[in-house]
A = this chain, B = another copy of it.
Amino acid sequence: MLTDSELAVVREVLIRGPIPRRDLAARVGLSSPSLTRLVTPFLASGLLVETSEPDSGAVGRPTRPLTVRSDWGRFAGVKITGDRLHCVVTDGRAVPLVTADEALISHGPEQVADQLAAFLRRITGEIDALGVSVGGVVADGLVVDGVFLGWRDVDFGALMAARLGIPVVTENDVVALAEMQRWFGAGLSTSGFALITIGVGVGYGLVVDGRVVSSREAGAGLAAHVRLLENGPECELGHRGCADSLLTSRSIEGRYSALTTRSWTADEVLEAAARGDEAARQVTGESALALGRFIALAANLSLQSTVVLAGDGIGLWALEGDRMQEAASADRGPGADAIHIEVDTSGFAAWARGAAVVAIQHTLRCGQGMTGVV
Protein backbone atom coordinates (compact mmCIF):
# COMPACT_ATOMS: atom_id res chain seq x y z
CA MET A 1 0.00 0.00 0.00
CA LEU A 2 1.39 3.37 -1.01
CA THR A 3 1.07 6.53 1.03
CA ASP A 4 -0.91 9.38 -0.41
CA SER A 5 2.22 11.24 -1.42
CA GLU A 6 3.78 8.21 -3.07
CA LEU A 7 0.60 7.58 -5.00
CA ALA A 8 0.42 11.20 -6.06
CA VAL A 9 3.99 11.14 -7.29
CA VAL A 10 3.61 7.96 -9.32
CA ARG A 11 0.27 9.09 -10.69
CA GLU A 12 1.56 12.42 -11.87
CA VAL A 13 4.61 10.84 -13.45
CA LEU A 14 2.43 8.28 -15.17
CA ILE A 15 -0.07 10.81 -16.43
CA ARG A 16 2.16 13.72 -17.31
CA GLY A 17 4.76 11.67 -19.06
CA PRO A 18 8.38 12.74 -18.64
CA ILE A 19 8.27 15.46 -16.02
CA PRO A 20 11.17 17.20 -14.24
CA ARG A 21 11.32 16.74 -10.48
CA ARG A 22 10.89 20.46 -10.08
CA ASP A 23 7.51 20.60 -11.82
CA LEU A 24 6.51 17.35 -10.20
CA ALA A 25 7.16 18.72 -6.72
CA ALA A 26 5.05 21.77 -7.44
CA ARG A 27 2.26 19.66 -8.86
CA VAL A 28 1.97 17.30 -5.91
CA GLY A 29 2.52 20.11 -3.43
CA LEU A 30 5.76 18.88 -1.88
CA SER A 31 9.19 20.30 -1.42
CA SER A 32 12.13 19.14 -3.49
CA PRO A 33 13.73 17.22 -0.61
CA SER A 34 10.52 15.30 0.02
CA LEU A 35 10.28 14.53 -3.64
CA THR A 36 13.77 13.13 -3.72
CA ARG A 37 12.97 10.93 -0.76
CA LEU A 38 9.80 9.65 -2.39
CA VAL A 39 11.27 9.11 -5.83
CA THR A 40 14.46 7.33 -4.81
CA PRO A 41 12.88 3.96 -3.92
CA PHE A 42 10.90 3.97 -7.14
CA LEU A 43 14.04 4.64 -9.15
CA ALA A 44 15.74 1.81 -7.28
CA SER A 45 12.87 -0.58 -7.94
CA GLY A 46 12.82 0.41 -11.59
CA LEU A 47 9.25 1.66 -11.69
CA LEU A 48 10.39 5.19 -12.43
CA VAL A 49 13.25 5.99 -14.75
CA GLU A 50 15.03 9.12 -15.84
CA THR A 51 14.76 10.15 -19.44
CA SER A 52 17.79 11.63 -21.13
CA GLU A 53 15.96 14.47 -22.70
CA PRO A 54 17.96 17.21 -24.38
CA ASP A 55 15.95 20.06 -22.79
CA SER A 56 17.93 22.49 -24.86
CA GLY A 57 18.18 26.22 -24.58
CA ALA A 58 17.78 27.17 -20.96
CA VAL A 59 20.71 28.16 -18.83
CA GLY A 60 21.64 26.14 -15.75
CA ARG A 61 21.74 22.48 -14.96
CA PRO A 62 19.43 20.62 -17.31
CA THR A 63 16.44 18.79 -15.92
CA ARG A 64 16.40 15.02 -15.64
CA PRO A 65 12.71 14.27 -16.23
CA LEU A 66 11.06 11.21 -14.73
CA THR A 67 8.85 8.67 -16.45
CA VAL A 68 7.24 5.40 -15.59
CA ARG A 69 9.26 2.59 -17.12
CA SER A 70 7.80 2.13 -20.56
CA ASP A 71 7.06 -1.56 -20.15
CA TRP A 72 5.42 -1.22 -16.78
CA GLY A 73 2.05 -2.83 -16.45
CA ARG A 74 -0.33 -4.71 -18.65
CA PHE A 75 -4.02 -4.24 -18.14
CA ALA A 76 -7.26 -5.38 -19.67
CA GLY A 77 -10.46 -3.40 -19.84
CA VAL A 78 -13.80 -4.83 -20.78
CA LYS A 79 -17.06 -3.10 -21.41
CA ILE A 80 -19.96 -5.47 -21.25
CA THR A 81 -23.00 -4.35 -23.20
CA GLY A 82 -26.24 -6.24 -23.56
CA ASP A 83 -24.90 -8.35 -26.39
CA ARG A 84 -21.11 -8.09 -26.67
CA LEU A 85 -17.85 -8.12 -24.80
CA HIS A 86 -15.58 -5.28 -25.85
CA CYS A 87 -12.03 -5.83 -24.69
CA VAL A 88 -8.84 -3.89 -24.82
CA VAL A 89 -5.39 -4.74 -23.54
CA THR A 90 -3.28 -1.73 -22.65
CA ASP A 91 0.04 -0.75 -21.20
CA GLY A 92 0.35 1.18 -17.97
CA ARG A 93 -0.63 4.40 -19.71
CA ALA A 94 -3.87 2.96 -21.04
CA VAL A 95 -2.52 2.89 -24.59
CA PRO A 96 -4.35 0.12 -26.44
CA LEU A 97 -2.20 -2.80 -27.58
CA VAL A 98 -4.89 -5.27 -28.49
CA THR A 99 -8.55 -4.63 -29.21
CA ALA A 100 -11.07 -7.41 -29.59
CA ASP A 101 -14.72 -8.11 -29.05
CA GLU A 102 -17.14 -10.94 -29.39
CA ALA A 103 -20.84 -11.64 -29.06
CA LEU A 104 -22.17 -12.44 -25.65
CA ILE A 105 -23.54 -15.95 -25.44
CA SER A 106 -25.56 -15.64 -22.29
CA HIS A 107 -26.59 -12.99 -19.77
CA GLY A 108 -26.02 -15.08 -16.66
CA PRO A 109 -23.23 -13.65 -14.51
CA GLU A 110 -21.44 -17.01 -14.19
CA GLN A 111 -21.66 -17.71 -17.91
CA VAL A 112 -20.50 -14.20 -18.81
CA ALA A 113 -17.58 -14.63 -16.43
CA ASP A 114 -16.67 -17.96 -18.02
CA GLN A 115 -16.86 -16.54 -21.50
CA LEU A 116 -14.88 -13.45 -20.61
CA ALA A 117 -12.17 -15.45 -18.87
CA ALA A 118 -11.77 -17.69 -21.91
CA PHE A 119 -11.82 -14.71 -24.24
CA LEU A 120 -9.12 -12.89 -22.29
CA ARG A 121 -6.91 -15.99 -22.20
CA ARG A 122 -7.22 -16.12 -25.94
CA ILE A 123 -6.26 -12.52 -26.68
CA THR A 124 -3.60 -11.79 -24.09
CA GLY A 125 -0.97 -13.28 -21.84
CA GLU A 126 -0.56 -12.28 -18.24
CA ILE A 127 -2.10 -9.04 -17.10
CA ASP A 128 -1.79 -7.15 -13.83
CA ALA A 129 -5.41 -6.33 -13.35
CA LEU A 130 -8.74 -6.30 -15.12
CA GLY A 131 -11.27 -3.51 -15.27
CA VAL A 132 -14.88 -4.25 -16.09
CA SER A 133 -17.46 -1.63 -16.91
CA VAL A 134 -21.18 -2.05 -17.32
CA GLY A 135 -24.10 0.28 -17.80
CA GLY A 136 -26.21 0.87 -14.73
CA VAL A 137 -25.70 1.42 -11.06
CA VAL A 138 -22.44 0.10 -9.66
CA ALA A 139 -21.60 0.67 -5.99
CA ASP A 140 -18.40 -0.45 -4.31
CA GLY A 141 -17.63 -2.86 -7.11
CA LEU A 142 -21.04 -4.44 -6.89
CA VAL A 143 -23.29 -4.34 -9.93
CA VAL A 144 -26.41 -3.13 -8.15
CA ASP A 145 -28.48 -2.72 -11.27
CA GLY A 146 -26.96 -3.73 -14.58
CA VAL A 147 -29.64 -2.45 -16.88
CA PHE A 148 -28.61 -4.10 -20.11
CA LEU A 149 -27.81 -7.42 -18.49
CA GLY A 150 -30.60 -7.62 -15.97
CA TRP A 151 -28.11 -8.05 -13.17
CA ARG A 152 -29.06 -7.27 -9.59
CA ASP A 153 -26.43 -7.06 -6.87
CA VAL A 154 -23.95 -9.16 -8.80
CA ASP A 155 -20.39 -9.23 -7.52
CA PHE A 156 -18.96 -9.74 -10.98
CA GLY A 157 -15.49 -8.69 -9.88
CA ALA A 158 -15.35 -11.61 -7.47
CA LEU A 159 -16.45 -14.02 -10.19
CA MET A 160 -13.69 -12.83 -12.51
CA ALA A 161 -11.06 -12.64 -9.80
CA ALA A 162 -11.76 -16.25 -8.93
CA ARG A 163 -11.24 -17.25 -12.56
CA LEU A 164 -8.20 -15.15 -13.36
CA GLY A 165 -6.44 -14.86 -10.02
CA ILE A 166 -5.80 -11.16 -10.49
CA PRO A 167 -7.46 -8.04 -9.07
CA VAL A 168 -10.66 -7.14 -10.89
CA VAL A 169 -12.37 -3.79 -10.60
CA THR A 170 -15.96 -3.24 -11.61
CA GLU A 171 -17.28 0.21 -12.35
CA ASN A 172 -20.09 1.99 -14.08
CA ASP A 173 -19.26 2.52 -17.74
CA VAL A 174 -19.65 6.30 -17.77
CA VAL A 175 -17.71 6.70 -14.54
CA ALA A 176 -14.90 4.57 -15.99
CA LEU A 177 -14.87 6.63 -19.16
CA ALA A 178 -14.78 9.80 -17.08
CA GLU A 179 -11.80 8.41 -15.16
CA MET A 180 -10.07 7.76 -18.45
CA GLN A 181 -10.69 11.29 -19.60
CA ARG A 182 -9.57 12.64 -16.26
CA TRP A 183 -6.22 10.88 -16.36
CA PHE A 184 -5.43 10.66 -20.02
CA GLY A 185 -7.74 13.11 -21.75
CA ALA A 186 -9.32 16.44 -21.03
CA GLY A 187 -8.37 16.16 -17.36
CA LEU A 188 -4.77 16.88 -18.23
CA SER A 189 -5.60 20.46 -19.04
CA THR A 190 -8.60 21.19 -16.86
CA SER A 191 -9.77 20.21 -13.40
CA GLY A 192 -13.37 19.73 -14.36
CA PHE A 193 -15.59 18.89 -17.29
CA ALA A 194 -18.87 17.35 -18.26
CA LEU A 195 -18.81 14.18 -20.33
CA ILE A 196 -21.46 13.26 -22.85
CA THR A 197 -21.48 9.95 -24.68
CA ILE A 198 -23.68 9.02 -27.57
CA GLY A 199 -24.16 5.65 -29.16
CA VAL A 200 -26.63 2.93 -28.26
CA GLY A 201 -27.59 5.09 -25.32
CA VAL A 202 -26.83 8.55 -24.04
CA GLY A 203 -24.41 8.80 -21.16
CA TYR A 204 -23.52 11.67 -18.90
CA GLY A 205 -20.70 12.02 -16.43
CA LEU A 206 -19.15 14.79 -14.42
CA VAL A 207 -15.69 15.64 -13.18
CA VAL A 208 -15.48 18.48 -10.67
CA ASP A 209 -12.38 19.72 -8.94
CA GLY A 210 -10.31 16.88 -10.34
CA ARG A 211 -12.68 14.23 -9.06
CA VAL A 212 -15.21 12.09 -10.87
CA VAL A 213 -18.66 12.45 -9.42
CA SER A 214 -19.64 8.88 -8.71
CA SER A 215 -22.73 9.17 -6.62
CA ARG A 216 -25.49 6.64 -7.14
CA GLU A 217 -27.03 9.07 -9.59
CA ALA A 218 -23.92 8.95 -11.77
CA GLY A 219 -24.72 5.51 -13.08
CA ALA A 220 -28.44 5.87 -13.33
CA GLY A 221 -28.45 7.56 -16.72
CA LEU A 222 -30.71 10.33 -15.53
CA ALA A 223 -29.51 12.85 -18.07
CA ALA A 224 -30.50 10.67 -21.01
CA HIS A 225 -34.06 11.84 -20.90
CA VAL A 226 -33.49 15.53 -20.61
CA ARG A 227 -35.91 17.52 -22.75
CA LEU A 228 -34.13 19.08 -25.71
CA LEU A 229 -36.69 19.62 -28.47
CA GLU A 230 -40.32 20.24 -27.62
CA ASN A 231 -41.71 18.54 -30.72
CA GLY A 232 -39.09 15.91 -31.22
CA PRO A 233 -39.63 12.20 -31.66
CA GLU A 234 -40.72 9.97 -28.84
CA CYS A 235 -38.35 7.76 -26.89
CA GLU A 236 -39.27 4.37 -25.49
CA LEU A 237 -40.42 5.93 -22.27
CA GLY A 238 -42.72 8.30 -24.07
CA HIS A 239 -40.65 11.46 -23.66
CA ARG A 240 -40.90 13.80 -26.62
CA GLY A 241 -37.63 15.22 -27.84
CA CYS A 242 -35.49 13.96 -25.00
CA ALA A 243 -31.80 13.27 -25.44
CA ASP A 244 -32.43 9.58 -25.86
CA SER A 245 -35.04 10.17 -28.56
CA LEU A 246 -32.69 12.30 -30.62
CA LEU A 247 -29.14 11.16 -30.09
CA THR A 248 -28.99 7.38 -29.95
CA SER A 249 -28.08 5.39 -33.03
CA ARG A 250 -31.56 3.91 -32.89
CA SER A 251 -33.03 7.38 -33.11
CA ILE A 252 -30.96 8.22 -36.15
CA GLU A 253 -31.78 4.92 -37.77
CA GLY A 254 -35.45 5.21 -36.98
CA ARG A 255 -35.92 8.74 -38.18
CA TYR A 256 -34.08 8.19 -41.45
CA SER A 257 -35.76 4.89 -42.11
CA ALA A 258 -39.10 6.61 -41.65
CA LEU A 259 -38.18 9.03 -44.42
CA THR A 260 -37.08 6.28 -46.81
CA THR A 261 -38.26 2.90 -47.98
CA ARG A 262 -35.96 0.56 -46.10
CA SER A 263 -34.11 0.48 -42.76
CA TRP A 264 -30.55 1.68 -42.27
CA THR A 265 -27.79 1.54 -39.71
CA ALA A 266 -26.70 4.74 -38.03
CA ASP A 267 -23.36 4.64 -39.81
CA GLU A 268 -25.11 4.38 -43.15
CA VAL A 269 -27.21 7.40 -42.30
CA LEU A 270 -24.11 9.40 -41.42
CA GLU A 271 -22.52 8.33 -44.69
CA ALA A 272 -25.59 9.35 -46.62
CA ALA A 273 -25.57 12.69 -44.90
CA ALA A 274 -21.90 13.10 -45.71
CA ARG A 275 -22.73 12.44 -49.36
CA GLY A 276 -25.26 15.24 -49.20
CA ASP A 277 -28.46 13.21 -48.95
CA GLU A 278 -31.08 15.78 -47.96
CA ALA A 279 -33.21 13.49 -45.82
CA ALA A 280 -30.19 12.15 -43.97
CA ARG A 281 -28.95 15.65 -43.49
CA GLN A 282 -32.25 16.61 -41.96
CA VAL A 283 -31.95 13.77 -39.47
CA THR A 284 -28.36 14.45 -38.51
CA GLY A 285 -29.02 18.18 -38.37
CA GLU A 286 -31.79 17.64 -35.87
CA SER A 287 -29.52 15.43 -33.78
CA ALA A 288 -26.76 18.01 -33.98
CA LEU A 289 -29.10 20.73 -32.78
CA ALA A 290 -30.15 18.52 -29.90
CA LEU A 291 -26.60 17.60 -28.99
CA GLY A 292 -25.56 21.24 -29.14
CA ARG A 293 -28.34 22.09 -26.74
CA PHE A 294 -27.36 19.19 -24.53
CA ILE A 295 -23.79 20.42 -24.45
CA ALA A 296 -24.90 23.88 -23.41
CA LEU A 297 -27.18 22.44 -20.74
CA ALA A 298 -24.40 20.29 -19.39
CA ALA A 299 -21.96 23.18 -19.28
CA ASN A 300 -24.44 25.61 -17.77
CA LEU A 301 -25.74 23.28 -15.09
CA SER A 302 -22.44 21.67 -14.17
CA LEU A 303 -20.72 25.07 -14.02
CA GLN A 304 -17.92 23.76 -16.20
CA SER A 305 -16.63 25.30 -19.39
CA THR A 306 -15.30 22.10 -20.91
CA VAL A 307 -17.48 19.38 -22.36
CA VAL A 308 -16.06 16.11 -23.61
CA LEU A 309 -17.87 14.13 -26.28
CA ALA A 310 -17.25 10.44 -26.68
CA GLY A 311 -18.86 7.18 -27.62
CA ASP A 312 -19.37 5.26 -30.82
CA GLY A 313 -21.96 7.70 -32.14
CA ILE A 314 -19.40 10.45 -32.20
CA GLY A 315 -19.18 10.33 -35.99
CA LEU A 316 -21.90 12.93 -35.79
CA TRP A 317 -19.29 15.46 -34.74
CA ALA A 318 -17.22 15.21 -37.91
CA LEU A 319 -20.37 15.70 -39.92
CA GLU A 320 -22.25 18.34 -37.97
CA GLY A 321 -19.69 19.83 -35.63
CA ASP A 322 -20.35 23.37 -36.77
CA ARG A 323 -24.05 23.12 -36.26
CA MET A 324 -23.54 21.60 -32.84
CA GLN A 325 -21.16 24.32 -31.81
CA GLU A 326 -23.59 26.91 -33.05
CA ALA A 327 -26.49 25.39 -31.12
CA ALA A 328 -24.33 25.14 -28.02
CA SER A 329 -23.29 28.77 -28.27
CA ALA A 330 -26.88 29.86 -28.74
CA ASP A 331 -27.88 28.26 -25.44
CA ARG A 332 -24.83 29.41 -23.56
CA GLY A 333 -25.72 32.33 -21.37
CA PRO A 334 -24.82 35.90 -22.22
CA GLY A 335 -21.31 37.13 -21.59
CA ALA A 336 -19.95 33.71 -20.74
CA ASP A 337 -16.75 32.07 -21.81
CA ALA A 338 -17.32 29.89 -24.84
CA ILE A 339 -17.76 26.21 -24.17
CA HIS A 340 -14.63 24.27 -24.90
CA ILE A 341 -15.70 21.10 -26.64
CA GLU A 342 -13.25 18.22 -26.71
CA VAL A 343 -14.04 15.25 -28.85
CA ASP A 344 -12.74 11.76 -28.23
CA THR A 345 -12.97 10.27 -31.70
CA SER A 346 -11.88 6.82 -30.67
CA GLY A 347 -15.50 5.71 -30.62
CA PHE A 348 -16.27 2.46 -28.92
CA ALA A 349 -12.66 1.82 -27.97
CA ALA A 350 -12.92 4.58 -25.38
CA TRP A 351 -15.33 2.52 -23.31
CA ALA A 352 -13.02 -0.44 -22.89
CA ARG A 353 -10.11 1.90 -22.29
CA GLY A 354 -12.10 3.45 -19.49
CA ALA A 355 -12.43 0.05 -17.89
CA ALA A 356 -8.68 -0.45 -18.23
CA VAL A 357 -8.05 2.87 -16.53
CA VAL A 358 -9.99 1.92 -13.41
CA ALA A 359 -7.87 -1.23 -13.28
CA ILE A 360 -4.72 0.88 -13.53
CA GLN A 361 -5.95 3.22 -10.83
CA HIS A 362 -6.74 0.32 -8.56
CA THR A 363 -3.33 -1.18 -9.09
CA LEU A 364 -1.64 2.07 -8.18
CA ARG A 365 -3.80 2.57 -5.12
CA CYS A 366 -2.96 -0.86 -3.84
CA GLY A 367 0.68 -0.49 -4.77
CA GLN A 368 0.86 -3.91 -6.31
CA GLY A 369 3.66 -4.33 -8.76
CA MET A 370 5.08 -1.03 -7.64
CA THR A 371 7.73 -1.92 -5.15
CA GLY A 372 8.36 -5.38 -6.49
CA VAL A 373 9.35 -4.21 -9.95
CA VAL A 374 12.76 -5.60 -10.88
* Residues of chain A at the chain B interface (Cβ within 8 Å): 145, 192, 194, 204-206, 208-209, 211, 213, 215-218, 220-227, 230-231, 237, 293, 297-305, 331-337
A300 touches B223 (CB 8 A): yes
Closest Cβ of chain B to A217, distance in Å, is 5
Known A208-B213, A222-B336, A225-B334; further 16 A-B contacts with Cβ < 8 A: A204-B300, A204-B301, A204-B303, A205-B303, A206-B208, A208-B209, A213-B303, A215-B305, A220-B333, A220-B335, A221-B333, A227-B331, A230-B231, A237-B334, A297-B297, A302-B302
Q: How far, in angstroms, from A231 to B230 measured CA to CA in the complex?
A: 9
Instruction: Specify which chain B residues have a CB less than 8 angstroms from the CB of A206 in the assembled complex.
Output: 208, 302-303
Instruction: Specify which chain B residues have a CB less than 8 angstroms from the CB of A334 in the assembled complex.
Output: 225, 237
Instruction: Specify which chain B residues have a CB less than 8 angstroms from the CB of A336 in the assembled complex.
Output: 217, 220, 222
Q: How far, in angstroms, from A297 to B194 measured CA to CA in the complex?
A: 14
Q: Which residue of B lies closest to A224 (CB)?
A: B333
Closest Cβ of chain B to A5, distance in Å, is 15
**Contact (A226, B297) CB under 8 Å given A217-B337, A337-B216:** yes
Q: How far, in angstroms, from A227 to B206 measured CA to CA in the complex?
A: 21
B304 touches A215 (CB 8 A): yes
Q: How far, in angstroms, from A302 to B220 measured CA to CA in the complex?
A: 12
Q: How many copies does the complex hold?
A: 2
A303 touches B218 (CB 8 A): yes
Q: How far, in angstroms, from A218 to B230 measured CA to CA in the complex?
A: 28
Closest Cβ of chain B to A363, distance in Å, is 24
Closest Cβ of chain B to A328, distance in Å, is 12
Q: How far, in angstroms, from A237 to B194 measured CA to CA in the complex?
A: 26
A305 touches B217 (CB 8 A): yes
Q: How far, in angstroms, from A216 to B298 measured CA to CA in the complex?
A: 15
A304 touches B217 (CB 8 A): yes
Closest Cβ of chain B to A342, distance in Å, is 16
Q: How far, in angstroms, from A209 to B211 measured CA to CA in the complex?
A: 9
Instruction: Specify which chain B residues have a CB less than 8 angstroms from the CB of A217 in the assembled complex.
Output: 299-300, 303-305, 336-337
Instruction: Specify which chain B residues have a CB less than 8 angstroms from the CB of A298 in the assembled complex.
Output: 301
Closest Cβ of chain B to A191, distance in Å, is 9
Q: How far, in angstroms, from A304 to B194 measured CA to CA in the complex?
A: 14
Q: Which residue of B lies closest to A217 (CB)?
A: B303
Instruction: Specify which chain B residues have a CB less than 8 angstroms from the CB of A293 in the assembled complex.
Output: 227
A333 touches B222 (CB 8 A): yes
- Which of A145, A192, A220, A299: most chain B Cβ within 10 A? A220
Closest Cβ of chain B to A190, distance in Å, is 10
B222 touches A299 (CB 8 A): yes
Q: How far, in angstroms, from A299 to B206 measured CA to CA in the complex?
A: 12
Q: Which residue of B lies closest to A244 (CB)?
A: B333
Would you mind naming 30 contact pairs between A and B with Cβ atoms under 8 Å apart? A145-B335, A192-B213, A204-B303, A205-B303, A206-B208, A208-B208, A208-B209, A208-B213, A209-B213, A213-B303, A215-B303, A216-B305, A216-B337, A217-B299, A217-B300, A217-B303, A217-B336, A217-B337, A218-B303, A220-B335, A220-B336, A222-B303, A222-B333, A226-B297, A227-B331, A230-B230, A237-B334, A298-B301, A301-B302, A302-B302
- Which of A231, A237, A331: most chain B Cβ within 10 A? A331
Closest Cβ of chain B to A115, distance in Å, is 27
Q: How far, in angstroms, from A205 to B223 measured CA to CA in the complex?
A: 18
Instruction: Specify which chain B residues have a CB less than 8 angstroms from the CB of A231 in the assembled complex.
Output: 230
